[in-house]
Amino acid sequence: MAISLRYGSYFYGDYQVGTERKEIGVGSVEVLGGKNEFKGRQIVVKNQSSSDGWNPKGHSHCSIHASNCLPRAMKWWEKSIIPNMTEITSSDHLVESLATAGDKLVIVDFYSPGCGGCKALHPKICQLAESYPDAIFLKVNYEEHKSMCHSLRIHVLPFFRLYRGAQGRVCSFSCTNATVKKLKDAMAKHGTERCSLGPAKGLEEEELLVLASNGGARFNRPPALSSI
């Protein structure tokens, strides 16, 4: 366990957390807090030199905070994320993101943490997002949103859906790292500049109804009117 001082130094040692003093090789440390409850608690280092003459910056005492010095390792799908890439958190979030995209090209990327093909393709997706700063990339974690993915009939991964303004969904397909050209070609075809054709359509009406029936969305969107 490493504990960082405010002054930027570090010291290591094994000690029993409690209200007693323990020698850990760098001076006398008074630990405040119960056993194993040091996270976020203050530790006071008294100005008592050890046998090697260690002294914390010559101050009468200094305050340090115990913390886990090793940050949580980033998952592969969290790495190299570009500002125009968004992780979808719910069905409502997906519906709203598509509905407010205007005439921008939207790429919905369905992936799974345990999918080797998804992991291999991820760096290419990040490169495409960087190359198309005006496009919107929405990432959907299949493991966290299985009901939504089933409602949208996503049965193979990695899988992509492309949406554009009033046209709604313009294409959908699965591709891998070896066939990523399919995605590049689709983005080049549907991502050209043009005048807006109207408000964004987003998901199809039947998809919205299925999502709502499965309890995955609580959006407020009027149903399509019959043309009788």
SS (H, E, C) the chain: CEEEECCCCEEECCCCCCCCEEECCCCEEEECCCCCCCCCCEEEEECCCCCCCCCCCCCCEEEEECCCCCCCCCCHHHCCCCCCEEECCCHHHHHHHHHCCCCCEEEEEEECCCCHHHHHHHHHHHHHHHHCCCCEEEEEECCCCHHHHHHCCCCCCCEEEEEEHHHEEEEEEECCCCCCHHHHHHHHHHCCCCCCCCCCCCCCHHHHHHHHHCCCCCCCCCCCCCCC
Contacts of 96 (CB under 8 A, 6+ apart): 219
Q: Per-residue confidence of the chain (228 residues) as pLDDT tens digits?
A: 443 334 444 444 444 444 444 444 444 444 444 444 444 444 444 444 444 555 555 554 544 454 556 678 889 998 988 999 999 999 999 999 999 999 999 999 999 999 999 999 999 999 999 999 999 999 999 999 999 999 999 999 999 999 999 999 999 999 999 999 999 999 999 999 888 888 999 999 999 999 998 876 555 443 333 333
Return the pLDDT at 24. 45
85-210: CATH architecture: 3-Layer(aba) Sandwich (3.40)
> What is the rounded CA–CA span in Å between residue 6 and residue 10?
9
Return the pLDDT at 218. 57
Please state the pTM of the whole predicted model.
Answer: 0.65
Question: CA-CA distances (angstroms) from residue 111 to 43, 101, 134, 161?
Answer: 44, 21, 22, 12
Return the pLDDT at 185. 97
> What's the CA dihedral at 181, 106, 169, 188 to 10 degrees?
-40
Q: For the range 32-39, what are the long-range contacts, defined as Cβ-Cβ under 8 Å and sequence gap of 24 or more?
A: 38/66, 39/66, 39/67, 39/68
Domain regions of the chain by residue span = 85-210
Give the residue numbers annotated as catalytic, written as ranges. Answer: 115, 118
